[in-house]
């Protein structure tokens, strides 16, 4: 008879954040490492906006936290309400598909900034808010470890429409880098919003022609891609880069945002009545779209989950 051999089974030191089976000090150690990585990405890519000197991370930043941790959002269902939508988003573990969290959120036309939005935009914002909220319920403590507010930008009472601009990055000589351009447009929109609310004469006069400007903004952004068969698609991409994924059309822009683009494009009409835009503005727009394309190409850590539809 063969001698029986004893085998020692070594338990792998896996860390599941938030489980009682893991030593508290190990949880904090791993969470701090994640928070440091997250902070670098969010700061570098400007995935936040500033409200009262506090940084609120947009849903792209919360999705980045999920990707680092191996957690992905999944739309579970969307319910149409009388005046909007309610969405429920689950959080799933990428390794085995297990559901580890979730949350619901609504977006309705009773909200001042959503009263005239297209149907798809209201539905999309409900999903966006549910995604951010799901991550907040499970992982807001890690976001705080990274130095940011624990509430997603999209959940703030101002509906993410206007915020104080993020700090201006270094290197503001033109042509602007994509990140500086985005911050500059956000700053300009904030200034325009203040002027509109204060009923300053020049702002009132501009707002009177806002629908005319809205159409000119759309056409002139596309002029940065003259001769490109995908100019409309790139215009959508540029607007999403500046204002977030829920703004892809000039129809989605607020009055202040339209005026910010008007100032940046600095358009004029030539002798034949053709619109001409600032060459530096055109160059900056192309660079911004190129950066967004590169970011999308890099994708998440789980490219099979990327959704390229719409």
Q: Are 300 and 306 in contact (CB under 8 A)?
A: yes
Q: Is residue 124 part of a domain?
A: yes
What lies within 8 Å, CB to CB, of 170 at 6+ separation is none
Q: Which two tokens stand for residue 197?
A: 């609310």
Confidence class of residue 285 from pLDDT cuts 50, 70 and 90?
Answer: very high
Q: Is residue 155 part of a domain?
A: yes
Residue 22: the pLDDT is 60
Q: Which two tokens stand for residue 224?
A: 């940065």
pLDDT (average), residues 132-139? 93
Domain end among 110, 137, 163: 163
- Same structural domain, 149 and 69: yes
Higher pLDDT, 46 or 287: 287
The Cα 307–Cα 310 span in angstroms is 9
pLDDT (average), residues 240-268? 89
Q: Is residue 83 part of a domain?
A: yes
Q: Is residue 68 part of a domain?
A: yes
Residue 161: the pLDDT is 44
- Same structural domain, 133 and 215: no
The Cα 258–Cα 247 span in angstroms is 12
- Same structural domain, 259 and 205: yes
- Same structural domain, 63 and 154: yes
Residue 297: the pLDDT is 64
pTM of the prediction?
A: 0.53
**Is a pLDDT exceeding 70 seen at residue 308?**
no
Residue 217: the pLDDT is 92
Closest C-alpha to 176, from 256, 275, 242? 242
Phi, psi of 269 (to 5 degrees): -115, 135
Mean pLDDT of the chain: 81
- Same structural domain, 126 and 54: yes
- Same structural domain, 206 and 127: no
Q: Is residue 136 part of a domain?
A: yes
Confidence class of residue 25 from pLDDT cuts 50, 70 and 90?
Answer: confident
**Is a pLDDT exceeding 80 seen at residue 180?**
yes
Phi, psi of 79 (to 5 degrees): -110, 130
Q: Which residues pair with residue 74 across a beta bridge?
A: 90
- Same structural domain, 245 and 156: no
Q: What is the pLDDT of residues 33-42, one digit of tens each?
A: 999 999 999 9
Residue 8: the pLDDT is 45
- Same structural domain, 184 and 157: no
Q: Is residue 10 part of a domain?
A: no
The tally of domains found in the chain comes to 2
pLDDT (average), residues 224-231? 88
Residue 72: domain span: 24-163
Residue 260, SS3? helix
Q: Is residue 304 part of a domain?
A: no
Higher pLDDT, 300 or 54: 54
Domain end among 136, 163, 190: 163
Residue 1: the pLDDT is 46
**Is a pLDDT exceeding 70 seen at residue 86?**
yes
Helix axes 255-265, 210-222, angle to 10 degrees: 50
- Same structural domain, 294 and 184: yes
Q: Which two tokens stand for residue 36?
A: 């440091």
DSSP strand pairing (268-269 vs 99-108): unpaired
- Same structural domain, 149 and 32: yes
Confidence class of residue 23 from pLDDT cuts 50, 70 and 90?
Answer: confident
Domain end among 105, 136, 163: 163
- Same structural domain, 134 and 194: no
Q: Is residue 303 part of a domain?
A: no
- Same structural domain, 182 and 265: yes
pLDDT (average), residues 68-90? 93
Q: What is the pLDDT of residues 96-127, one digit of tens each?
A: 888 989 999 999 988 877 777 788 888 988 99
């Amino acid at each position: 008879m063969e001698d029986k051999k004893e085998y020692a089974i070594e338990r792998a030191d896996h860390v599941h954040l938030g489980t009682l089976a893991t030593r508290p000090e190990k949880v904090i150690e791993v969470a701090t490492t994640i928070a440091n990585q997250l902070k670098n990405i969010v700061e570098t890519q400007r995935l936040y906006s500033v409200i009262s000197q506090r940084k609120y991370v947009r849903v792209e930043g919360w999705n980045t936290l999920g990707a680092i941790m191996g957690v992905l959002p999944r739309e579970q269902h969307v319910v149409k309400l009388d005046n909007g939508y309610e969405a429920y988003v689950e959080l799933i573990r990428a390794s085995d598909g297990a559901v580890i969290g979730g949350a619901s959120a609504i977006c309705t036309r009773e909200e001042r900034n959503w009263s005239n939005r297209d149907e798809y935009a209201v539905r999309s914002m409900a999903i966006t808010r549910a995604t951010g909220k799901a991550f907040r319920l499970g992982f807001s403590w890690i976001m705080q470890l990274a130095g940011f507010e624990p509430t997603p930008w999209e959940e703030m009472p101002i509906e993410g429409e206007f915020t104080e601009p993020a700090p201006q990055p270094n290197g503001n000589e033109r042509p602007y880098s994509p990140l500086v351009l985005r911050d500059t447009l956000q700053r300009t929109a904030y200034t325009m919003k203040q002027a509109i609310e204060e009923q300053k004469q020049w702002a009132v006069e501009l707002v009177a022609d806002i629908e005319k400007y809205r159409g000119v903004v759309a056409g002139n952004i596309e002029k940065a891609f003259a001769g490109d068969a995908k100019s409309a698609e790139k215009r959508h991409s540029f607007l999403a880069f500046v204002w977030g994924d829920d703004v892809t059309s000039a129809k989605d822009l607020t009055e202040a945002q339209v005026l910010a683009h008007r100032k940046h494009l600095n358009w004029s009409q030539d002798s034949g009545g053709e619109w001409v835009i600032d060459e530096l503005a055109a160059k900056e727009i192309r660079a911004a779209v190129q950066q967004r394309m590169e970011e999308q190409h890099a994708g998440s850590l789980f490219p099979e989950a990327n959704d390229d539809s719409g």
